[in-house]
Amino acid sequence: MAGSAGTQTITLAKGLNQGLRAAMEADPKVIVMGEDVGKLGGVFRITDGLQKDFGEQRVLDTPLGESGIIGTAVGLALRGYRPVCEIQFDGFVYPAFDQIVTQLARFHYRSQGKLRMPVVVRVPHGGGIGAVEHHSESPESYFAHTPGIKVVACANAVDAYWMIQQAIACDDPVIFFEPKRRYWEKASLDLAAAPPPLFSSRLVRSGTTATVVTYGPMVRTALDAATVAEQDGQRLEVIDLRTLSPLDLAPVFDSVRRTGRLICVSEAPGEASLIGELAARVSQECFYSLEAPVLRVTGFDTPYPPAKCEEDYLPDVDRILDAVDRALGY
Amino acid sequence: MPPRKRAPSRSSPGAKPVGSPIVGQPTVGPVVEPLAGPIVGTAMEIDGPHNPQQIIAGLRATSEGEDLVQLLTPEGQRVSHPRFDLEISAAGIQALYRDMVLVRRVDREANVLQRQGQLGLWAPLLGQEAAQVGAGRAMAPQDMAFPSYREHGVAWCRGVDPTELLGIFRGVDQGSWDPNSTGFQLYAVVVGTQCLHATGYAMGQRLDGKIGNAETGEATICFFGDGATSQGDVHEAFVWAAVYDAPVVFFCQNNQWAISASLDRQTRVPLYRRARGYGFPGIRVDGNDVLAVFAVTQWALRECRTGNGPVLIEACTYRMDAHTTSDDPTRYRLADELEEWKLKDPLERVRVHLVREGLAEPDFFAGVIDEADELARRLRDYCTSMPVPGPERIFSNIYAEASPSLDAARADFLAYHASFEDGH
């Protein structure tokens, strides 16, 4: 990114990188920590160049241990720092699960506000990159289920740039999901345009036939489905949730009241998931507006399969359009 | 944009060729002759004793062995130590004794309050007073302590009023004191988690440039037990602290029991020796000797403030009461073990020393008992008059920032509450 103002075309990865840089420039208490984030710049190069410019005191190459990363980040937050932790891949977040769920999420409540946890945990999530086991998962429901932490998912380069800065500025712990297969997709970033609030959903395509709600890597897929559907005369409305906890469902309710049909899309297994919560809430709030049951298009209730099967595992344009057809069939 | 392609019609299950198991085929790969015979020698010959009896005997011996730092014997005799000698006045010893008596009284009173139904639970520290008071009094005001859930004695030394401990066990709060003004963090219930928090905090002390001076620098001390040493978080804390040179004292109270699991269920080697593997010093101290604990911890904290951390201290002590008031130790340990440890009581040896050496008058002891009685009365009165939080407490302070959805949930629930005729 050349200047401090104007419009540039950047990748989602670069958006995150520039957003991190801006946050570190704005607040000396912001530190980046994780495996290989320093010299290497992260396995996805999201932290590229940060250690060179901010030094080893602010960009910490940590030992290999996810619980250690989050547990020491908790201690650093108690000391007044704002750690931004990188978990290298979604499937490696589980060793840190205890520290996130029993500690990071609880300090504010336990202390009744005396202790704050301004910690961001960045997690590249989702499949579609042909990876080996544990590199393609969608664990966001585990975290959305946990009170005390906030969960967001960015879907494009512009959101990546702003949302990472907003998450770092947030005084609560934020689990920040990044759609790894979209890291290299580009968008036009206008630095003069004010971003929407972090914890807000957004209508990304208007339509009348049915509402498709999704987040993260599936936003692109849903938009593609809407484009294809248009050829059949169907106008799909697409909403990017952006915030998974707290949920901002007002735009969803508003949309469903107009379209009467809702398709929820996520790569994660559907059973007992965030998407299921969405279906329940919409059924409750929009019961008399619904023309069809809320339908879900998700990964299957299986472990993530070998990479050669992921094309069939992951929701795609066709599965979304099949669900639209089913919803229209009621 | 890809053209819309309809989902292909489903082929029947099994239509795709599925590999069938190979039957009657030879094992894949050639048979290889061994390149050499087996290496001679048992594991024991290579690296010390490995059979269970020797291991257990070794662990037991560590509470008495020659590398145990002790300055006051169980019989109340002052002994010297080449590295950790301590010059302390009569008033200094009296003050430590008073602390231990008061802390024990708090502990016993709380235990009784639980038995009378006033507390839901209590985690007794009986027997561990010297370890906690010695370590707590070694701290400087600017140091930070990270406790587990049994550090009532350290809390006392940090100026946390004992009444504030009761809220957790009566169920009215989850820790009400201010960790920043007291230098004493909230209790950690998930065993070992606090060791990483302490390490991160100490890393922050180093990043803040607060080390380099043994007196004015800052250090962190982390309390955990022998059971916690088996937790992965404690291992990671040792690794992090070592590679970042964090100014943290890992203070392990080895009270011999993790609920029903004895020490040999946690380790093959004496715990203090583990530090060597991480690259920092480990010291074993008589945890029932308040003078030795004070001297060793003071040294360790000074080392950390100077920038020579981390340090591991294993304080050998004994949990004389149950794990908590819900536990029944008679199911897993023999009474004679308790009797043996009663002879090493942390308070009695100091009392004997003060009397025998003429370092305290009878008035002193009477005064301490009066003070303890008064403290117990205050604790009891406070306990039974503690306000019970209302239902709004459920929703309070989950997040630092405003939370409209939780505000709405609270309003809904309070309205539901108010809809009952008697208001609840």
**pLDDT band, residue B56 (cuts 50/70/90):** low
**pLDDT band, residue B422 (cuts 50/70/90):** confident
On whether both A166 and A238 belong to a single domain, the answer is: no
CATH number at residue A146: 3.40.50.970
Report the pLDDT averaged over residues B174-187.
98
Does the pLDDT value for residue B50 go beyond 60? no
Interchain proximity B237–A68, CB inside 8 Å: yes
- CA-CA distance, A96 to A87, in Å (whole number)? 9
- Report which of residues B41 and A296 the model is more confident about: A296
Report the pLDDT averaged over residues B22-51.
60
**pLDDT band, residue B28 (cuts 50/70/90):** low
On whether both A236 and A320 belong to a single domain, the answer is: yes
B170-184 burial string, b = 16+ CB within 10 Å, else e?
beebebbbebeebbb
Q: Which of A63, A102, A232 sits opposite B240 (nearest CB)?
A: A63
Cβ(A202)–Cβ(A178) under 8 Å?
A: no
Query: What distances in angstroms separate CA A3 from CA A6, A31, B208, B235, one per listed residue?
Result: 7, 24, 32, 46
Distance, in angstroms, between A85 CA and closest chain B CA? 13
- CA-CA distance, B346 to B289, in Å (whole number)? 6
Please give the pLDDT value at position A42: 98
Distance, in angstroms, between B144 CA and closest chain A CA? 10
Strand partners, A174: A120, A150
CATH of domain B52-384: 3.40.50.970
- Asked if residue A290 is part of any domain, the answer here is yes
Distance, in angstroms, between A18 CA and closest chain B CA? 24
- CA-CA distance, B338 to B240, in Å (whole number)? 37
- CA-CA distance, B72 to B66, in Å (whole number)? 14
- Asked if residue A20 is part of any domain, the answer here is yes
Identity of the residue numbered B152: H
Question: Domain count of chain A?
Answer: 2
Query: How high does pLDDT run on average in chain B?
Result: 90
- Asked if residue A301 is part of any domain, the answer here is yes
Please give the pLDDT value at position B67: 83
For residue B50, indicate whether it is catalytic: no
On whether both A226 and A320 belong to a single domain, the answer is: yes
**pLDDT band, residue B51 (cuts 50/70/90):** low
Cβ(A51)–Cβ(A59) under 8 Å?
A: yes
Please give the pLDDT value at position B12: 44
- CA-CA distance, B400 to B418, in Å (whole number)? 27
Cβ(B278)–Cβ(B242) under 8 Å?
A: yes
Residues in chain A closer than 8 A to B178 (CB atoms):
114
On whether both A168 and A251 belong to a single domain, the answer is: no
Report the pLDDT averaged over residues B388-399.
96
DSSP at B227:
G
**pLDDT band, residue B85 (cuts 50/70/90):** confident
- CA-CA distance, B245 to B243, in Å (whole number)? 6
- CA-CA distance, A236 to A324, in Å (whole number)? 9
Top residue of B142, B149, B207 to mutate, by most chain A CBs within 10 Å, is: B207
On whether both A175 and A252 belong to a single domain, the answer is: no
**Which residues touch A214 (CB under 8 Å, ≥6 apart)?**
A221, A222, A238, A239, A240, A241, A264, A265, A266
- CA-CA distance, A223 to A204, in Å (whole number)? 8
DSSP secondary structure, A288-312, as one string: GG-SS--EEEEE-SSPPPPGGGHHH
Regarding beta strands B282-286 and A202-205, do their DSSP bridges make them parallel or antiparallel, or are they unpaired? unpaired
On whether both A266 and A172 belong to a single domain, the answer is: no
Interchain proximity A172–B208, CB inside 8 Å: no
Q: Which residues of A participate in catalysis according to the annotation?
A: 135
Does the pLDDT value for residue B44 go beyond 90? no
On whether both A284 and A242 belong to a single domain, the answer is: yes
Please give the pLDDT value at position B62: 43
DSSP secondary structure, B95-148, as one string: HHHHHHHHHHHHHHHHHHHHHTTSSS-----TT-HHHHHHHHHHS-TT-EEE--
**pLDDT band, residue A1 (cuts 50/70/90):** very low
B6: number of Cβ within 10 Å: 9
Top residue of B196, B208, B234, B410 to mutate, by most chain A CBs within 10 Å, is: B196
- Asked if residue A65 is part of any domain, the answer here is yes
CATH number at residue A280: 3.40.50.920
Burial of A92 (0-12, 13-18, 19+ CB in 10 A): middle
On whether both A235 and A320 belong to a single domain, the answer is: yes
Q: What is the pTM of this model?
A: 0.93
Lowest mean pLDDT among A115-119, A235-239, B47-51, B370-374: B47-51
- Asked if residue A283 is part of any domain, the answer here is yes
Strand partners, B283: B313
Report the pLDDT averaged over residues B307-315.
97
Element (H, E) at B195: helix B193-207
Does the pLDDT value for residue B21 go beyond 90? no
Does the pLDDT value for residue B70 go beyond 60? yes
Distance, in angstroms, between B232 CA and closest chain A CA? 8
Please give the pLDDT value at position B30: 64
Among B206, B284, B319, B380, the active-site one is B319
Interchain proximity A72–B239, CB inside 8 Å: no
**pLDDT band, residue B22 (cuts 50/70/90):** very low
On whether both A211 and A288 belong to a single domain, the answer is: yes
pLDDT tens for A113-129 read 999 999 999 999 999 99
Judge if the upstream peptide bond of residue B141 is cis by omega within 30 degrees of 0: no
For helices A250-259 and A274-285, angle between their N-to-C axes, nearest 10 degrees: 60
Tell the residue number behind the tokens 């997040």, with chain if given: B399
3-state SS record for B341-394: HHCCCHHHHHHHHHHHCCCCCHHHHHHHHHHHHHHHHHHHHHHHCCCCCCHHHH
- Asked if residue A196 is part of any domain, the answer here is no
Determine the residue of chain B that is closest to A118 in CA distance: B400
- CA-CA distance, A48 to A40, in Å (whole number)? 7
On whether both A186 and A43 belong to a single domain, the answer is: yes
Does the pLDDT value for residue A26 go beyond 50? yes
Determine the residue of chain A that is closest to B5 in CA distance: A318
- CA-CA distance, A220 to B125, in Å (whole number)? 58
Strand partners, B282: B312
pLDDT tens for B194-216 read 999 999 999 999 999 999 999 99
Regarding beta strands A174-179 and A82-86, do their DSSP bridges make them parallel or antiparallel, or are they unpaired? unpaired
- CA-CA distance, B199 to A197, in Å (whole number)? 34
Percent of chain B with pLDDT over 90: 83
The set of long-range contacts for B63-69, using a CB threshold of 8 Å and a minimum separation of 24, is B63/B286, B63/B316, B65/B284, B67/B284, B68/B284, B68/B285, B68/B286, B68/B316, B69/B283, B69/B284, B69/B285, B69/B286, B69/B292, B69/B295, B69/B296
pLDDT tens for A39-75 read 999 999 999 999 999 999 999 999 999 999 999 999 9
- Asked if residue A197 is part of any domain, the answer here is no
On whether both A224 and A96 belong to a single domain, the answer is: no
Cβ(A201)–Cβ(A243) under 8 Å?
A: yes
Report the pLDDT averaged over residues A293-316.
97
pLDDT tens for A200-232 read 999 999 999 999 999 999 999 999 999 999 999
Burial of B406 (0-12, 13-18, 19+ CB in 10 A): middle
ipTM, 2 decimals?
A: 0.96
Report the pLDDT averaged over residues A172-178.
98
- CA-CA distance, B243 to A14, in Å (whole number)? 31
Cβ(B350)–Cβ(B100) under 8 Å?
A: yes
pLDDT tens for A148-160 read 999 999 999 999 9
Determine the structural domain holding residue A126 and report its residue range: 7-190
- CA-CA distance, A168 to A84, in Å (whole number)? 7
Identity of the residue numbered B385: S
- Asked if residue A300 is part of any domain, the answer here is yes
On whether both A184 and A219 belong to a single domain, the answer is: no
